[in-house]
Structure 1
Amino acid sequence: MMDEMTNRPGLPEELRIAVARLSRRLRNQGNGRLSFTQYAALAVLDKHGEMTPRELADHEKVQPPSMTRTVAALELEGLVVRSPHPTDGRQVVLVATDSGRALLAEHRRLKEAWLWQRLQSLTEREREILEAATPILEKLSRS
């Protein structure tokens, strides 16, 4: 791969560091009420709708006992509720509550406000470059 990138052999390292740093800075924004793992689980339920605890654990690539603790904390905060599974009486499904969705919306608003403020300090050309690079970064994140 490096042979194909002879014009920028340091690009993978530079990109890794920049993306990690930006990700860390964004994670530190928001209201800090929940852990990163709790926000991620709540966001998955918000985006995908109801899921079993096992499906949620699989989606987040964590062990079921870890997800059990995460879900318990979200339930305690009133952000997630358990309901009977529609076809399997031995299971439950999880769904984000209105309070959970509202918390996520506020969390996202704070992060985007922080990022918007940083984007305003860039030149118009820099913002255009970032706009063009965003689909590429999205493609990399899904590969």
Structure 2
Amino acid sequence: MSASNEALSVTAADLRLATFRLARRLRCVRVADAMSDAQLGVLMTLRLHGRRTITALAERERVTAPSMTSLINGLEEQGLVTRTVDDHDRRRVQVDVTPAGIDIVERTMQRRDELLIDAMQHLELTADEVHTLRDAAALMWKLAER
């Protein structure tokens, strides 16, 4: 049996507000203070999913191709990404994260994980509550990837 429209509506509002507040707290934690959220998002995408074209990155990050080109230009100037001509289509350019970019991503993710671990320890969550959060995270991934 599906949830009622009212239950979905209330849940959507609660989820939106909680996600927004948590995301805002997490965004404050980063290794490179001068780096924008968009730049960090691109580095994380490349670290997690590998080399991509600018068009594919723009679609994944939901920005225009010119905006992505600008982001990539800035990251390339900092030595955090490289561009290479596609082996199969010389007109296409592939973007890949450099070891310096990987380091920023990994250290930022570690700091953000530490913030969450600290918060969960402070709340003294039970094993069942931690399990519930893991289940919720899996559902949130499904929502995010839709």
Shared fold (TM-score, shorter chain, > 0.5): yes
Structure 1 residue 133: deviation in Å?
2.5
Q: Which stretch shifts more, 7-16 or 69-78?
A: 7-16
2:34 paired residue number: 33
Question: C-alpha separation between the residues in 2 aligned to 1:9 and 1:87?
Answer: 47
1:119 paired residue number: 120
- Counterpart of 2:29, as a letter, is Q
2:82 paired residue number: 81
Does residue 130 of structure 1 match 2:137?
no
- Counterpart of 1:16, as a letter, is R
Say which SS state the counterpart of residue 124 (structure 1) adopts.
coil
Question: C-alpha separation between the residues in 2 aligned to 1:10 and 1:48?
Answer: 34
Does residue 97 of structure 1 match 2:60?
no
Question: C-alpha separation between the residues in 2 aligned to 1:53 and 1:138?
Answer: 23
Q: Return closer, same or farther for 1:122/1:132 CA change in 2, 3 Å cut-off.
A: farther
Number of aligned residue pairs: 141
Structure 1 residue 96: deviation in Å?
0.6
Q: Return closer, same or farther for 1:23/1:121 CA change in 2, 3 Å cut-off.
A: same
Runs of 5+ unmatched residues, structure 2 = none
Q: Return closer, same or farther for 1:129/1:54 CA change in 2, 3 Å cut-off.
A: closer
Structure 1 residue 80: deviation in Å?
0.3
Does residue 23 of structure 1 match 2:23?
yes
Compute the TM-score of the two structures, normalised by the length of structure 2: 0.85
RMSD between aligned alpha carbons? 2.0
Q: Return closer, same or farther for 1:4/1:84 CA change in 2, 3 Å cut-off.
A: same
Question: C-alpha separation between the residues in 1 aligned to 2:82 and 2:17?
Answer: 38
Q: Return closer, same or farther for 1:89/1:128 CA change in 2, 3 Å cut-off.
A: closer
Question: C-alpha separation between the residues in 2 aligned to 1:91 and 1:134?
Answer: 35
1:11 paired residue number: 11
Q: Percent identity at matched positions?
A: 30
Runs of 5+ unmatched residues, structure 1 = none
